[in-house]
Structure 1
Amino acid sequence: MRADLLDGIVIFTRVAEKRSFTAAAVELGVTTAAVSWSVKRLETRVGTSLLTRTTRSVGLTEAGELFLQQALASVANVEAAIEAAQRMGVNPAGLLRLSVPYVAQTLIEPVLDGFAAAYPAVELELVFEDRFVDIVAEGYDAGIRIGEMIAQDMIAVRLTKPSPLTVVGSPAYFARRGKPLRPEQLSEHACINVRLFGGALYRWMFTERFGRGEPRTFAMDVKGPLTVNGPATCTSAAVAGVGLTYNIASVVEPLVRQGLLEPCLEGFMPESPGFFIYFPNRKQMLPKLRAFVDFWKQDHQ
């Protein structure tokens, strides 16, 4: 396809409709010479004359009549496309694609029904994945990640407050096995592992404080009867009594309130920086994305 494919077509349709180079120039706000030059270039590209010219009138050749019929429809489609894009630049509408980590699934699900009702013209597509994603190259409008996992060149807007991490298990599990009092005692417990996108197992992080000195942060490999590739399954398995799982406290808080899970090792848990939604440029924050962020903040007040 030629880069200059559409050059001169709008000017040609105006000349053909007005039957005048001068009237077309006035409507378009350019000189008559510019209109004449543009039409001549178009005729050169097409390879035939489209207009007949005399000192008193302008008419259409047979090829020009055929060309005009097709060109008017194309120009109308382009104008409609521009108007649609302009409307999207003002009103929240269209496809909103978000890359979301599995661990945020239980946080984002409660807002879906309300957002869909508030913005029926927005089609929300959520892609759950734990790998690092180039949101621009892969066609996402934005991504949601824990703060420490966001590239420095991205604009990040906080969605959740910082939250401690937690180890949780079901009441039935703790009734059978008891609660560990120190991280080292996890070797005596059934722990549910998560296989990361790159193939490694996720290591459980802990912090131990000694008086007023700097806390010691350390990671542990854990063992157990189950390995999965996402925290949602870990949580379900923990509720079922399979073993202990490691998660963000705010993510499993609803299940703790319901009495389905209980925390342990509270004095050894580091803090997660919270979730952020990120995108490449504030100027590229379209109304559909702004609507999602504003709705989330209002819902979490």
Structure 2
Amino acid sequence: MKLMTISEVSKVFNVSTRMLRYYEQIGLLPRQRKEDYAYRVYDENAIRRLQYIIVLRKLRISLKQIALILKTPEHIHTIEIFQKNIAELNDEITALNTIRDVLKIFVSRLNQNIGTSIKLDLLRNSDIIKIIEPLTLSRINFKEERSMEDLNKANEVLGKLRNVRIVLLPPFTVASYHFVGENPEETVGDVLDKFVCESKLYEKKPDARMFGFNHPNPSPSRPHHGYEDWVTIPDDMEVPAPLVKKKFDGGMYAAHTIAFPDFHEWNLLSKWVEESDKYAPNYSEQGEEIMGGCLEEHLNWIYSSHMGWPKNGIDGYIDLLLPIKLK
């Protein structure tokens, strides 16, 4: 099997290059650099390891647990991890079955009173209160031990976002860098990181923020995609080449926070906006060229850069920002 570049692996497995680099960073996925070859390459063993990681992630195995499975050859440890996850799933199934049964009772009561002006007290039965009290308010991720059709329906319902925020971004001035080629996110990040450190931006603007977006989006029709990063700067600050000073007009966005590298949740945020009764997407006319005007705000990035990226620093969180307007 020939060595594959990070772009080739990304396309074959339909995962982002950022995710692959993150797996490398935390020690899950080995890679190598071929002599006289600037890009990351992966051999057959690395590809098989990646396939294993992807399968385990689809089975809701955490990255921390995957690291233990890959590091420990004894099957007993893997069995223990799987059994622990099965027990947690069983608890969630029990909770969801309870929720379903209570909702069925509510539907039955409401159906009996259709067409009447009677104000129905859904909680008049103290036994129902006792059943509901132990349930948690947190979102339940679960898989039912039923048909694949049932599983897909359950995942569709439970996959809806519950914590979307509406934010208004004000106008601001940014230092921008754009690159199209191999590893564009890493390339632009390195350039902006150098600028933040050398300019002492954090000392001049402690509330500085960092945003990024695909420019252009990945596509089978082009060998490489691009990425553009922005850091907010004082209006009167000059920026050195190759950075470009730009103005951002601001706008209204639907926001959802993810833990790096859960970029697949872009689909969930898009679906939330499309199904909203109050908001509609407000994508840029440039469309795919600039990710429709969507932004990824890398939270605490400026501070971490200023501090030299300490190993025990803040965990990576990102706000996904989708432009919206009132219907």
> Per the shorter chain, which TM-score range?
under 0.3
Bigger RCO of structures 1 and 2 (CA < 8 A, at least 6 apart):
1
Q: Give the number of the structure whose alpha-carbon radius of gyration is greater.
A: 1
Q: TM-score, normalised by structure 2?
A: 0.20
